[in-house]
Structure 1
Amino acid sequence: MSRADELLAAAAAAPGFMPADEGRALHDAALAVEVPGPLLEIGSWMGKSALYLAAAAVRTGRTVVTVDHHRGSEEHQPGWEYHQPELVDPATGLLDTLPSFRRTVHPAEDVVVAVVARSEVLAQVWTTPLALLFLDGSHTEESARRDQEAWVGKLSVGGTLAIHDVFPDPADGGQAPFGVHQRVLASGEFTELPGTGSLRLLRRLR
């Protein structure tokens, strides 16, 4: 088994919310992108999607950059549906997924650079054109729009934009990522590629 295949197997077994077919589609999109530059994801949780990207990175000689404050999104906080009490740091009383993330991505530490920050803070100092941008951060309308405005312009022409949890029907899920998808398409700067499940892929044209 190649190292990339080992990372794919680790990704499939890792905790997280990304279905296996969507994870493989993200990996394949990262593998297929032709322009130079790193792969950057916004929203890492415990590192599952980072491993799918890392498997592509070891095959193509790229670097994966993950951006997450590791305090969880709204739905992960106490009293919400996806809260996991075992992830609360007793010293601070706050959710902290960074230790779990580090355990997950340990096999890929040579290709994954973890930035612990709010995405809009890092965006202010980020200048490297991206080959792939994966948007999977907080899904409130405000935060999804903020990630879009801060990062989509940093994607190279010919690069791939991946957006997770895009649900056209509100009965299936929140609408903030769908709104990002619709605004990006309406800009005329992107063309849509075949997606998988709730994962949408777009290629930047100009």
Structure 2
Amino acid sequence: MSQAGPVPPPDLLTAARAAPGFMPDDEGRALYEAARAVTVPGPLLEIGSWMGKSALYLAAAARETGRQVVTVDHHRGSEEHQPGWEYHDPSLVDPAVGLVDTLPRFRRTIADAGAEDVVLAVVARSEVLAPLWSTPLALLFLDGSHTEESARRDQDAWVAKVAVDGTLAIHDVFPDPADGGQAPFGVYSRVLASGEFTEMPGTGSLRLLRRG
């Protein structure tokens, strides 16, 4: 009796929908389509990975277009994930150091989806990595910590690295303060006001800008 072969990995978009995280599928699909449509060379880079949901939407596009996805996250969680805050999950705390650690869950998400060949994880604060990074980006996805200070820091560190005709995607952009925090909206507004980017159709809280 022959043994069954290895179980094939799931379709990456299906895996992305099932992965833990906060991105609605319509916004994830829009991110996938934007990444798939970029024509300039370069990697897809995201700031803020959490457990890998958005990375899989990007990975689906990367696999189809022969690119790599680079994810940048310190994996210690944002402010809202810390003890006493709204989205704190005690199961994510590493008891050896007493700090949130989402890296094991992220790695499991990517491995279970069979996406380790296209997703490269960099465990670092984005502002620490940025001075070491020189490759123009085909797409930059900003979805890190949403405090005003950290959002401005990510903008200052990374937006200039988007290639001409490349795409900048910004998540959780809420013009109305009643709908959510204003830091990503501030980044979106400042980038658009710079005149270096033009807006493309977005979906939900996902804004898409192309560098001219």
Instruction: Give the TM-score band, short-chain normalised.
Output: over 0.9
Structure 1: runs of 5 or more not aligned:
none
RMSD of aligned C-alpha atoms? 1.1
**Aligned twin of 2:53:** 48
* Range with bigger deviation, 4-13 or 61-70: 4-13
1:13 maps to 18
2-structure distance, mates of 1:203, 1:61: 21
Q: How far apart, CA to CA, are the structure 1 residues paired with 2:9 and 2:164?
A: 27
SS at match of 1:108: coil
Equivalents in 2 of 1:23, 1:100: separation in Å? 19
Match of 1:39 in 2: 44
Alpha-carbon shift at residue 65 of structure 1 (Å): 0.1
- In 1, the alpha carbon distance for the partners of 2:47 and 2:110 equals 15
Name structure 2 gaps, 5 residues minimum.
1-7
Q: Check whether the contact 1:21–1:196 (CA below 8 A) recurs between aligned residues.
A: yes
Q: Which residue of 1 aligns with 2:147?
A: 140
Corresponding position: 1:116 with 2:116: no
> How many residues get paired?
203
Distance 1:37 1:87, change over 3 A: same
Q: 1:184 aligns with which of 186, 191, 195?
A: 191
1:93 to 98, 102, 107: 98
- State TM-score, norm by structure 1: 0.97
Q: Deviations over 1:116-167 (max 9, x none)?
A: 0000000010000000000000000000000000000000000000000000
Q: CA deviation at 1:7?
A: 0.5
Deviation at 1:5, TM superposition (A): 7.4
Deviations 1:36-69 (A, max 9, x none): 0000000000000000000000000000000000
**Secondary structure of 1:124's match?**
helix
Normalized against structure 2, the TM-score is what? 0.94
* Structure 2 counterpart of 1:138, one-letter code: S
Contact 1:57 / 1:64 at 8 angstroms: preserved in 2?
A: yes
Identity, % of aligned pairs?
Answer: 83
1:128 to 114, 131, 135: 135
- Hey, what does 1:58 align to over in structure 2? 63
Contact kept in structure 2, 1:4 and 1:58, CA below 8 Å: no
Whichever of the two has the greater Rg, that structure is: 2
| Matching of residue 199 in structure 1 with residue 201 in structure 2 | no
Match of 1:75 in 2: 80
Runs of 4+ aligned structure 1 residues displaced above 4 Å come to none
2: CA distance, partners of 1:5 / 1:88 = 29
Match status 1:166 vs 2:173: yes
1:4 positional shift: 9.9
Give the distance between the partners of 1:184 and 1:111, measured in 2 at CA. 29
